[in-house]
A and B are shown apart, each in its own frame.
Chain A
Amino acid sequence: MTPDQAETAINEALGQVTPGADVISLPADADLRDTLELDSLDFLRFVEILSERTGERIDEDDYPQLATKASTVKFLTGRSPG
């Protein structure tokens, strides 16, 4: 997965979890939970969608790596060979 693909998947997932929020212009290093006011259920949904989109299994232990857009992109691209 390329960084662009990863970012697209992240934006789509966030868009679904927080309808109406401007996820595209969210700074890459902004804390997702804080900035978008995600509660634990929202975050779980985010993980769920992301996992479906990318086909990646995301464990709870991985959650800390999904703190920001940038870290999430890194997490997703770092894991897959493509």
Chain B
Amino acid sequence: MSRTATKVTRSEAAHRHDLLRQMLLIRTFEDKCVELYSAGEIRGFVHLYIGEEAVAVGVNQALTADDNIVSTYREHGHALARGMPLDSVMGEMYGKTSGCSRGRGGSMHLFDVSRRFYGGNAIVGGGLPLAIGVALAGKLRGDQRVTACFFGDGAVAEGEFHECMNLAALWDLPVLFCCENNLYAMGTALERAQAQTDLALRAGSYGMPAWPVDGMDVLAVEHAARSAVEAVRAGGGPHFLELRTYRFRAHSMYDPELYRDKAEVEEWKKRDPIDLLAARLRDGGELTDGDLQAMSEELTGEVDQAIAAARAAPAEPVEDLTRFVYSPEPS
């Protein structure tokens, strides 16, 4: 627990406040995205993370700025937890040049190489080989970076998943596999897609440490991620966390949700990661309703500012349509 040494200088309460704030920021951002999408200001596919915030925020606590992240198409939470500026993420939602990917990627392709955030990848399982490669590069160079790779339970059915589990274990690569098991691959329930639904067990079959974690409890996620990252960094090879979580909204913006019961959604909402932490803080006397209200208003203001900035930002000129297909010629 080498990192806890730095944490004791901050109060535990302040840290928990920070976790709450980060989760609430993601929630506020995405709530706004729903409105903006409905109004037609944001288009395309937008996959919301609402309900899963504890995973991104918790795992990020265990990573340093030098570590790498490879993400999926449901990555607003990962990007914001990584500290990517609201303006650049919202700009990307609007497809403006102020976006982190100059608007060319949109919701599913947030990139920030300066923060070693190697992209939202919208092919299920497609990011895993990249994470292997990024980790391999670090290993060949002898750096101490850990590569965190996020993917969903759907990816476990892809061949690439198994190729990558094997390769990472075979080559002892410093990868933390973060499987966000939200129980549905789009509309297909886990048990309808997987013969063995214990995903940690399957990862474990490749000879890497793997265990399930309550993905609705940010403190549990943080704890698990810290111990896994520490082990990876110490040369323990790849580790696998199955983060059991749930998305409260549709797969992408809206769907009729024919594939799951409303009651099931309501049941999971009782374990809303934000409510869960807020309640814990309230019980411990670390948070009042007024605090939460103030935090929420402040974050709403920040998101509104990001929206205003995105609206005002310039669009990429059409003359530049084919820019970034190839790297610019060296001058």
**Direct A–B contact in complex, judged by CB atoms less than 8 Å apart:** no
